[in-house]
Structure 1
Amino acid sequence: MSFERTPCVYILASQRNGTLYVGVTSDLESRIHQHRTNAAGGFSKRYRVKRLVWFEVHEEMEPAIIREKQLKKWNRAWKLRLIKETNPQWHDLAEDFGFETLR
């Protein structure tokens, strides 16, 4: 499945139970590539937050942006529970799209 022009909200982690980053994009694969190559800069580069541990697809960008803002306001425990509900092993979901395994 291609995520080009598909609004997605996503959570990256530095490691299992590590630093979390919540973002929104219209091209998930390109955005993950930016995070992995440090082209995204900022928070994700500084804290080495590169593992895709959760994402949610939306039909339109506006609801995706609203959801991103909602998740950013959540406390850490709620975000961890959200990840564990769908990805209890903290598998790097980007590997399912062909990205290399992170060390």
Structure 2
Amino acid sequence: MHKTLGTHNYYVYILTNKKKTVLYTGFTNELKNRLYFHQNPEANSKAFTTKYRCYYLVYFEHYQDAETGIDREKEIKGWTRAKKDALINEFNPEWRFLNDEIQD
């Protein structure tokens, strides 16, 4: 069964660790599930988010087109830390952890 046009949900998101010293930029079509898997990694996971404990959502953007979202993820990944910090500051000035606010 295909979703009807205009009902697709894709997200570019940024996670950080508890001390907010590391950033991880990702892309997904199910943000709430993705956050769960970041917070509950498989045993012995060597994933970046597991290694650096990046489980806390501080930024996200919503897209209805996957290609646009993927392009945006690549763009943000290429940015300097200062530019990413500015993006987060504009969206979430207190750098609150938004994990519990996501509805899917």
TM bucket (normalised to shorter chain) is 0.7 to 0.9
The TM-score normalised by the length of structure 1 is 0.84
The answer to which structure has the higher strand fraction is 1
Q: How much is the aligned-residue C-alpha RMSD, in angstroms?
A: 1.9
Report 1 or 2 for greater relative contact order, CA contacts < 8 Å, sequence distance ≥ 6: 2
Q: Aligned pair 1:85/2:102, yes or no?
A: no
The TM-score normalised by the length of structure 2 is 0.84
Distance 1:75 1:22 in 2: 12
2:68 counterpart residue number: 63
Distance 1:79 1:21 in 2: 10
- 1:7-46 matched pairs, under 5 angstroms: 7-39=10-42, 41-46=46-51
Report which of the two structures shows the higher radius of gyration computed on alpha carbons: 2
> 4+ runs of 1 displaced by more than 2 Å?
none
The answer to which structure has the higher helix fraction is 1
Note the alpha carbon deviations across 1:41-87, whole angstroms, 9 max, x for none: 51000000000000000011110000000000000000001001111
Could you say what secondary structure the match of 1:12 adopts? strand
Tell me the number of residue pairs that the alignment of Structure 1 and Structure 2 aligns.
95
1:97 Cα deviation from its structure 2 partner: 3.0
Could you say what secondary structure the match of 2:96 adopts? coil
Structure 2: runs of 5 or more not aligned: 1-7
The AA in structure 2 aligned to 1:11 is I
